[in-house]
Structure 1
Amino acid sequence: MSGTVQPYPVPHSGQDVGEAKDALRAAIRAEREKRSPRTRARAGVEIAQVVGDLPQVREAGCVAAYVSRPTEPDTLPLLEMLAGRGVRVLLPVLGSGLQRDWAWFTSADDLQVRAPGRPPEPGGPTLGAGALVEAEAIIAPALAVDTGGARLGQGGGWYDRVLAYARPEATVVAMVFPEEVYDAVERPLPRQDHDRTVDIVATPTGWTWVREPEGSGH
């Protein structure tokens, strides 16, 4: 671990789960802002290698991923690595409100910002929410993940909803910085009934199962 702080706000009396999530999101975002663009770029190169070497990703013909926000580990190295292997890469296209859609990644040059505050999106035609069923591995953004598979997202619930379209056997991988992996016993992330768990958490330094695959003694 580096010297970066792992935030864990003490819950206030009467605070509900949603408020606890918001407090933790704010604290993690503040820590992410402290990282330099160079640090985030280096993390992107390192995590691309980690995720790209995952057997579940290496063997996939179609992977769903995302374009990173400025404070997240840069995902462009991973997207270009996958595309260079001939993998079909689905990227989110956000419609009005929480509308869910996807489009194919072709190149970094094709990505465009369609609305203020949103990550860049592919310029090609959209495929519908059900396109996610083609993905054998799904790379999901996260602010934090705990060792029980709980994922803290950005707060819009987009991925929790869209994962309903995934094939049951698809592996869901969350990408975070090392300090954003929480101990599910000592520092469990706040969870709600609609929250979808992930299978693997990946950081620039490695990866681990956080939900045991069926039939595995790993």
Structure 2
Amino acid sequence: MHGDRRPLTTPQPYPIVDGMETGDAKDELRRAIRHQRQERSPRLREEAAAAFAEVLATLPSVTEAAVVATYASRPTEPGTAALLEQLAGRGARVLLPVLGAGLARDWAEYTGPEDLLERAPGRPPEPGGRTLGGDAIADADVVIAPALAVDTQGVRLGQGGGWYDRSLKRARPGVPVVAMVFPEEFYDATERPLPVEDHDVPVHAVATPEGWQPLPAR
């Protein structure tokens, strides 16, 4: 790993047992990880957000990208505020998801933290500028995606709505996808593989506050 991967100090949830259906295994793992994320203090979240930005500043696919598609984080997610400012500060064009008409997903450009608002309860912060259409992700040179977990084979566990998997299929072929997770959410696929289905889109690298690692995306 590019960075120091220290022994885990937070337990790694893995409530998966033999014979469990894939969908049920995903749901159980999501519940366990979400619960654990709620336990992380605001101070630790803020420290992690700064560390994520530092780590991603060493990842060539990110530093060389003119256009970056990423996300505005909810409070318990790996924080992206420092990353967004860092990307904008070096002149990158940054695309963020927005919820369009009829629950359709869209993209809009990041123009600064003052424009990021929670425009409906429970939704992540969104920019208020002109929406660009669902195919705007094809402009991105790299995608930094949210995740609940990632394993060493590039399997990504998302929130369960399937939107990111559908959106990632619209990215240009060969564009790297980097998932952001906390250290205990990065799993060894030989010992604790994540449940995976045919529609799941693999990721090419994982970033934690301790470093980044390329992955052999399926």
Aligned to 1:38: 43
C-alpha distance after superposition, 1:134-188 (max 9, x if no partner): 1000000001000000000011111000011100121100000011100111100
Kept after mapping to 2: 8 A contact 1:98/1:158:
no
Kept after mapping to 2: 8 A contact 1:41/1:73:
no
Instruction: Quote how far apart the aligned CAs of 1:11 are.
Output: 2.4
C-alpha distance after superposition, 1:30-84 (max 9, x if no partner): 1111110110110000011111221001111000010111111210000000000
C-alpha distance after superposition, 1:87-130 (max 9, x if no partner): 00000012356522100000000011111100010010100011
Kept after mapping to 1: 8 A contact 2:71/2:97:
yes
Aligned to 1:157: 162
- Number of matched pairs: 212
C-alpha distance after superposition, 1:174-213 (max 9, x if no partner): 0000111001111000001100000000000000011269
Q: Which amino acid aligns with 2:156?
A: R
Output the aligned Cα RMSD: 1.5
Aligned to 1:6: 12
Q: Distance in 1 between the 2:160 and 2:182 partners?
A: 18
1:84 aligns with 2:118: no
Q: 3-state DSSP class of the match of 1:45?
A: helix
Q: Which amino acid aligns with 2:78?
A: P
Q: Residues 152, 106 of structure 1: CA spacing in aligned structure 2 closer, same or farther, 3 A cutoff?
A: same
Q: Distance in 1 between the 2:78 and 2:168 partners?
A: 22
Instruction: Quote how far apart the aligned CAs of 1:2 are.
Output: 3.9
| Aligned counterpart for 2:203 among listed residues 178, 194, 198 | 198
Q: Give unmatched runs, 5+ long, in structure 1.
A: 214-218
Q: Distance in 2 between the 1:108 and 1:19 partners?
A: 37
Aligned to 1:111: 116
Q: Give unmatched runs, 5+ long, in structure 2.
A: 1-6
| Percent of aligned pairs sharing the same letter | 62
1:211 aligns with 2:198: no
Kept after mapping to 2: 8 A contact 1:142/1:175:
yes
Q: Distance in 1 between the 2:36 and 2:215 partners?
A: 23
- Normalization by structure 2: what TM-score? 0.93
| Aligned counterpart for 1:25 among listed residues 30, 34, 39 | 30
